[in-house]
Structure 1
C-alpha cells in the first residue's frame, strides 16, 4: 500500500507536506521532497506546465503554496507587468501574484493558516492545489499578452477574462 492509498483510505488529516505529497502521488503527478517541510511537483495546466511548491512553517502553522507558470518578466516589461499584477490581484479572493526580484519569475502565492494541530485534510489539499492551478490558468493569457504582444495591462486583462468566459 502506497502513502497515497493510506492517506485516502481513511481520509484522515495529515501533516501538510505529507498530505500534498500523497495527493500528487495519487494523481500521478511528479513530486519530490526537498526537505521534511518542503515539496515540489509539476502539474499540467491548460496553458503550460506549472511547478508547484509547498513549504510548511510549523512555528506559525502556515502552509505556503507557490505555483510558478514559467513566465519570466524581461526588464523592459517590468512596469507593465507590475501594473498588470495590481489589476490581476484585485480579481483574487485567495492568494496573489508576484514577480520575484531574483530572476523576474512570475509566481502565484497562497498561505493557508492551519489549526492548532497543524494538520491538512484531503479537501484542503485539493482546494489549495486546484486554486493555484486555476488562477494561473485564468491569468496566464493576460501575462502573455503584456509580455509578448505589447497590449496594455488593462487590454490584456480584459482580453484574458473574455477568453476565459468564452471557454466556460
Structure 2
C-alpha cells in the first residue's frame, strides 16, 4: 500500500496531503506548486477544470479554486459581472468570481478548519465535488453570454432548465 492510500485510510490528514491522496485515488495527476499549494485538472461535463488548493497555516483556511478556462473579453466584463451576482445568489457554498487582472472566471470556496488543522476525507470529497458540480451547473450561463449574446437573466434561465424523463 502506498503512502497516499494510507492517507485515505486515515479519517483526517493535513489538508494538502489529504487532497493529494484524494486526487491520486481518483486518477487525477496532481502537482505540488509550493509547500502549501496543490494543482490538478479534472474533466467536467462541459470542459476540464483546473483545481487549485491553497493552505494558509496562519488562519487554518483551505481555499479551493476551480477554474473552467473562461476568459472574459473587456466588452463582456460588465455583463459577466451581472451574471456572477445572479449566479452567486443561487449558491450556498463558495462563490464565482473573476480575476480583475486576467479576466478569468473561477469558483472559490474557503474552508476554516479547526485548531488541529486537519481535513477529513468526507469534507475533502464534498468540497471537491461541490466545486465541480457548481462549475458544471453554471458553465452554460457563461457560454450563452459569451457566445450566444444572451442577457444574464436569459442565460441563467436557459442553463437552469429542469428536465423531466429520459431521452
Same fold by TM-score greater than 0.5: yes
Aligned to 1:130: 129
1:38 is matched with 37
Give the superposition deviation at 1:30.
Answer: 1.6
Alignment TM-score, normalising by the size of structure 2: 0.96
Q: Which residue of the partner structure matches residue 28 of structure 1?
A: 27
Aligned to 1:85: 84
Q: Report deviation, 1:5.
A: 1.1
Q: How many residues align?
A: 165
| 5+ long unaligned stretches in structure 1 | none
Partners of 1:137 and 1:18 in 2: CA distance: 26
Cα distance in 2 for partners of 1:129, 1:107 equals 14
1:120-159 paired onto structure 2 within 5 Å: 120-159=119-158
Q: For residue 69 of structure 1, what is the aligned residue in structure 2?
A: 68
CA distance, structure 1, for counterparts of residue 3 and residue 137 of structure 2: 32
> Deviation above 4 Å: which 4+ runs of structure 1?
none
Gaps of 5+ in 2: none
Aligned-CA RMSD value: 1.1
CA distance in structure 2 between the partners assigned to 1:167 and 1:129 by the alignment: 27
* Structure 2: distance between partners of 1:121 and 1:41: 19
